[in-house]
A and B are shown apart, each in its own frame.
Chain A
Amino acid sequence: MTHLDTVVPDAPTLPRKPRPALFTIATIAAAIALTIVTARSVDFSFGEIIGNLSRKNSVVEGLLNPDWGQIWSRRSRSAFIETLQLAVLGTATGATLALPLALWTTTFGNPNRWIRTVVRSFNNVNRAIPDLLWASLFVASVGIGALSGLLALFFFSLAVTTKLTSDTLDGIDMGPIEAANAAGASLPKMLRTAVVPQILPAYASFVLYNFELNLRASAVLGLVGAGGIGLRIEFFRGRGDWEALWGLVFMFFIVVFVVERLSVTLRRRLV
């Protein structure tokens, strides 16, 4: 067998190694500078955090001694069920509508340039509004309760799934679209047979992921009065009943963990 050093006897000199791009260095430096500046301006200090946590503090005491009984109380259980319902309904409505909405932003799914621009702008605005802001808006206009939470999750899901689905649509194979059009298919028939099969697994996985997000979001939404488990957490916080609060949080943690595991497994099988 011939060794490479017999074929190439002289140790070759590599061309000079390119220096890391100035842009990369500048970006890293800027990121570090930004972190330091912001930390100073919010008076960040490790010492203070540790001091606060180790001082005698009813919140931390509650954490060490959670009230597991809270898990079985009827009112907490129904608050939980409400949270799950919110997450399911919000996902089902928002993510379902996201599919046509994503299709309408593409050139092949919507031949009308003006409608396309309108739908795209709507999506961009929708995406810019965080879920908590939606919830506050609806609590203010519709009132405290689950309906506000549902509306908030609907818009949040619409934004998330539309965005993810649009990105997938950008990368699909245009060949089948051409074939369907050449066979005289109308727009809905073309989309159903040439486009949807290409994105269906990805879309299903986005819906599941959206459900995970909604489950977590639905807990926070309650804090501003939009129903579900968050409302109950907020109730105990107001009373200063930290044992009960932590019991509830632990239970929520377990539910989220289990749902997330299930969802991740399912999603892995999809794609």
Chain B
Amino acid sequence: MIRFEQACVTYPNGVVGMKDLDLTIDDGEFVVIVGLSGAGKSTLIRAINGLVPLTSGRLDVNGRDVTKLNRSGLRELRSGIGMIFQGFNLVDRTTVLKNVLMGRLHEVPTWRTLIGRYPAADIDLAARALQRVEILEKAYSRASDLSGGQRQRVGIARALAQEPAIILADEPVASLDPPTSHVVMRYLQQISRELGITTIVNLHFLDLATAYADRIIGLRDGVLVFDGPGSDADEQVFESIYGRSLTADDTMTKHAAL
């Protein structure tokens, strides 16, 4: 369970990224966060695994108070939280398998990491993760030889290899075309349902959000302005989140048609 209580994030330059947030996300939920650019979506996601520290308030993740964790406590917390990035964040020069094994780093002894010899059990887990996103045959390809959609599937496999309780995805489809975006979103949804992984996704396009979210959270200037089931989120709701009327840029289908 993830619970924010009166949580605030103020960046060193004075910008408020999160303001008095009260929010509880239960195990296994599939949550989509929407909001304008700069609304604080990334801030919220990054606070959960401690990449962005709270400046005040409280945040419990799986029973641990994130604000009180030291360096090794943070590593421990992060090892149980998979993260998926807009730019994939793969090491282009190495193989897909080595990239997925990054998800096992917390468990693998340091000396084995340094000489690049991973235990068979971890390689097996990485292979299963690749199998789950149906890209196992690319295990020994260089990451740079893959298409955008394939690379994001490797990104998902890397997160899965952590055997995480939570997956955070910060605009995972923003660099993909519409059909590929749906493929990636479907994998995320299926994985969440099958394995009971709590999944939190930042999305830019509203039609994608309503299509996949069990629950939608709307942010505006770091403040939570909407929280409800995906079915409740109609055009009026989005206009209130955005503080303006919707345009073609806000939905993927209309955007792609332009």
Residues on A lying within 8 angstroms of B by beta carbon are 173, 175-176, 178-186, 188-190, 192-194, 197-198, 200-201
Contact = CB atoms under 8 A, between A and B. Distances in A.
B110 interface: yes
Contacts of B24: none
A165 to B, nearest CB: 16
Contact of A189 (B76, B94, B113, B162): B113
Given A175-B88, A179-B83, A197-B94, A184 B77 contact: yes
B146 interface: no
**Residue with the greatest number of chain B CB neighbours at <10 A, chosen from A179, A185, A200:** A179
Interface string B100-116: 01110110101001101
Contact of A180 (B49, B92, B102, B116): B102
A175 B105 contact: no
A197 B142 CA distance: 12
A180 B73 CA distance: 16
Nearest to B77: A184
B195 interface: no
B192 interface: no
Contacts of B49: 182
A184 B85 contact: no
B83 A197 contact: no
19 contacts: A175-B85, A175-B87, A176-B102, A179-B90, A179-B102, A183-B78, A183-B102, A183-B158, A183-B162, A184-B74, A184-B78, A185-B105, A188-B110, A189-B105, A189-B113, A193-B105, A197-B91, A197-B93, A198-B91
Contacts of B89: 175-176, 178-179
B79 interface: yes
Contact of A179 (B79, B94, B158): B158
Taking residues whose C-beta sits less than 8 angstroms from the other chain, chain B's interface range is: 20 to 34
A31 B79 CA distance: 59
Contact of B113 (A175, A181, A188): A188
A184 B106 CA distance: 6
Contacts of B80: 184
A182 to B, nearest CB: 4
Contacts of A185: 75, 102, 105-106
B98 interface: yes
A98 to B, nearest CB: 17
A198 B93 contact: yes
A192 B102 contact: no
Contacts of B76: 184
Contacts of B225: none
A175 B144 CA distance: 14
B98 A193 contact: yes
B78 A181 contact: yes
A183 B88 contact: no
A176 B78 contact: no
B237 interface: no
Given A181-B78, A184-B78, 6 more contacts: A173-B92, A179-B85, A183-B103, A183-B106, A184-B74, A185-B106
B88 A189 contact: no
B51 interface: yes
B210 to A, nearest CB: 28
Contacts of A200: 93
A183 to B, nearest CB: 6
Nearest to A177: B89
Interface in B80-139: 80-83, 85, 87-94, 98, 101-103, 105-106, 108, 110, 113-114, 116
B114 A183 contact: no
Contacts of A201: 93
**Residue with the greatest number of chain B CB neighbours at <10 A, chosen from A175, A190, A193:** A193
Closest 3 CB pairs of A and B: A184-B79, A175-B89, A184-B78
A194 B143 CA distance: 13
A186 B93 contact: no
A157 B181 CA distance: 49
Nearest to A195: B91
A183 B160 CA distance: 11
A258 B82 CA distance: 52
A201 B91 CA distance: 14
Contacts of A180: 102, 105
B153 to A, nearest CB: 15
Contacts of A194: 91, 102
Contacts of B158: 179, 183
Contact of B51 (A176, A181, A192, A198): A181
B201 to A, nearest CB: 15
Contacts of B88: 175
